[in-house]
Amino acid sequence: MLIDYPWYFVLLCLLVGAAYAAVLYRWGYRFDRWLNVLMSAVRFVAVSVIALLLLAPVARRTVHERQKPRVDLIEDCSQSVQLCSDSSFRLTVLGDGLSDHCDVALESDASNTGRTDLGVLFDAVRPDVSAVVLASDGINNHGQNPVSVVEHLGVPVYTVALGDTMPRCDAALTNLRHNKIAYLGTSFPVEVTINAHLLRGQHAVLAIVDEKGRSLVSQAVDYSDDNFSATLSFSLPAEEKGMHRYVVDLSVAENEVERSNNVLSFYADVIDGRRKALIVGHAPHPDLGALKEAVESNPNYEARVVLAEALQTSKVNIKDSNYSLVFLHNLPSAMRQVPRELDGLPMVFIVGVQTDIPRFNALHSGLEIVAKAKKSNEMTAVFNENFSLFNFDPSDGEAFEQMPPLDVPFGEGRVNASLQTLFSARLGNIDTRQPLVAATSQGPQRRVFVWGEGLWKWRISDFQNNASHEHFDRLVSQIVTFAAATDNRNRFIVETDRSYSDADAIVVRAQLYNEAYELFNSPAAMFSLFGDSVDGDYEFTRRGDGYELTLGRLPEGLYRYRASTSYNDATLVDEGSFVVEATHLEQANLTADHTLLRTISAVSGGRMVYPDQIDDLRDELLALKPTIYTHTRYSELLGLPWLMLILVLLLGTEWVLRKYHGEI
């Protein structure tokens, strides 16, 4: 018995019982001597026990519990097992024979994800198991090494080896690689590996077919070896915009065991990636050609050179050309204004000797030039390492410092705080700190300034010094990419990947911005999905400051979505598409890996058996000893019914004796 009070509290309880009995039967009731002693003793015991119970004592006792041996049975139900000759084998035949002696639990991996992760199968193992039995073909094509997982279990793992380790007469398409994005009007590469076993001397044809059934490429394959492997490369045309499905089909040779692994499908998103740049000059100038060549060195851009006169006389129409940015060379000039058709486009100004400085300053572009004389200076470039609007390699900066000077109109530059200088101007050996090449991302459009003309000399010098135009072309390409970049100002934005695997759970997230472009998620948001085999309407769940929706795993196919929400009596919508691609890991290899199973059993202290040895494994598991757990239990004496019964009997006996002798 344990109490939380000092030991002398027990003596105090006994003294209380003795005092109570003495007062009651020595100075109170008078009976025969023997009866008086008996009733005093009964009252002493009852009162002392009641007083002790007020101290909340607890009783400590040691308990021994016997637990049946725990055996966990795990079945690998992956596609490779379902396609093997032992696909009908079930561990229930083992579990039925163990149920009387062992605590048996059966787990089956029926996720059908198209890949096998044996390490994850062991996550279902219960604590305090005595043994684990895994029925599998040993094919592991995803996740970590299962051997390292088993080593940390600390219990023997018995494996039942399914499937056949001998290569089968079969050919399979494996390791398909392709571009997920292709640009319209170009070609994109596709690479596929063919593995064939025991098909020497036979022939097949590999074809790639588009969604319209047109054969894009076709190539004969001769199996020259019983363990044949070859990687074929193709180039497919990107002729139409949008997401397109392609099928790689390998014709079936004679005696092939499995035909499902002869077909693979993939998707490619063809986009019109070539953006347009317009180069407008005051007059013919070699800079215009140099800029056009540099812009088109980026395969995503094309450039057009026009003169301002042609725009102003309507000889050239640019209204419907969707230009992403414009270069203005020596514009505005004394004779030519900046055409109104170009309003709203990002602009790159090349300020030269023909530029009308007052008209230029009237544009409030972010750079103001105070002209001091109608002449120019020759200025070389000084690289600014603190420039941060786009990444510019310091080695490129050093290359430009060695290039010829530009012809810079004489004057003083005044810049706003948002303008960053990439190259400052150097006059002889004096760093003027005036911007030579600068940019700003503030305001309605991004703008870049080159204060000086003669860029053609930079491009020629680059080739003379480095046998290529890479430094100059890279500078112009980065300027174009920066200036033409547009921010997504939609206030309701859905975030999805372009493609998913059919083995992955798809999670879609969305963000909603108020007028100040602050995140919030007060209104409800809906999501509608449209696919070949799955359609549905869902409601986003609020998560943090945004929205989240778990779609789970979807079948292979092309899906479109439309998400919407309402805010301030306006409906905000975002639409898009994504594809779900099939996982082909299981069909690629159907040869069982019993070596892995044998290793798993060896490192854990178990052993590997075959399905026809399941009775031997049952006998071995029946020999497992039960587990004896010894632990200490504590219980309050106040809650013991037998103690309450004793107190009632003592007090009842005293009451009966007193009543019998006429004191009650």
Q: What is the C-alpha separation between 425 and 434, in angstroms, rounded? A: 6
Q: What is the C-alpha separation between 276 and 269, in angstroms, rounded? A: 21
pLDDT higher than threshold 80 for residue 482: yes
pLDDT of residue 644: 78
How many other C-beta atoms can be found within 10 angstroms of the C-beta atom of residue 498? 14
Helices (H), 274-392: 286-295, 308-312, 357-362
Give burial (CB, 10 Å; 0-12/13-18/19+) of 516.
Answer: exposed
Please state, for a pLDDT cut of 90, what percent of the chain lies above it: 27
Average pLDDT rounded to a whole number, residues 570-577: 90
Q: Please, what sign has the CA dihedral across residues 593, 597, 602, 604?
A: positive
Cβ neighbours of residue 631 under 8 Å, at least 6 residues apart? 62, 63, 65
Q: Give residue-wise pLDDT tens across range 331-389.
A: 999 888 887 778 778 899 999 999 998 999 888 888 888 877 678 889 999 999 989 88
pLDDT of residue 191: 92
Distance of CA 262 to the CA centre of its chain: 30
Residue pointed to by tokens 């053609």? 456
Angstrom distances, CA of residue 422 to CA of 167, 348, 385: 63, 14, 8
State the average pLDDT for the chain.
83
pTM of the model: 0.52
Q: What is the C-alpha separation between 657 and 509, in angstroms, rounded? A: 83
State whether residue 144 is helix, strand or coil. Answer: coil
Average pLDDT rounded to a whole number, residues 549-558: 88
pLDDT of residue 614: 85
Strand ranges of the sheet holding 499-501, from the earlier edge strand across to the other edge: 499-501, 570-581, 557-567, 525-531, 535-539
Distance of CA 370 to the CA centre of its chain: 54
Terminal Cα distance for the chain, rounded? 37
pLDDT higher than threshold 90 for residue 319: no
pLDDT higher than threshold 90 for residue 424: yes
Average pLDDT rounded to a whole number, residues 274-303: 90
Average pLDDT rounded to a whole number, residues 8-21: 81
Strand ranges of the sheet holding 541-543, from the earlier edge strand across to the other edge: 492-495, 506-512, 546-552, 541-543
pLDDT higher than threshold 80 for residue 19: yes
Q: What is the C-alpha separation between 242 and 605, in angstroms, rounded? A: 56
pLDDT higher than threshold 90 for residue 27: no
State whether residue 143 is helix, strand or coil. Answer: coil
**Would you list the DSSP string of 273-290?**
--EEEEEEESS--HHHHH
Q: Give residue-wise pLDDT tens across range 75-127.
A: 877 776 666 666 677 888 788 878 778 888 888 765 555 667 777 777 778 88
Average pLDDT rounded to a whole number, residues 604-630: 84
- pLDDT band (50, 70, 90) for residue 1: low
Classify 27 in phi/psi space as left (phi over 0), alpha (psi -120 to 50) or beta: alpha
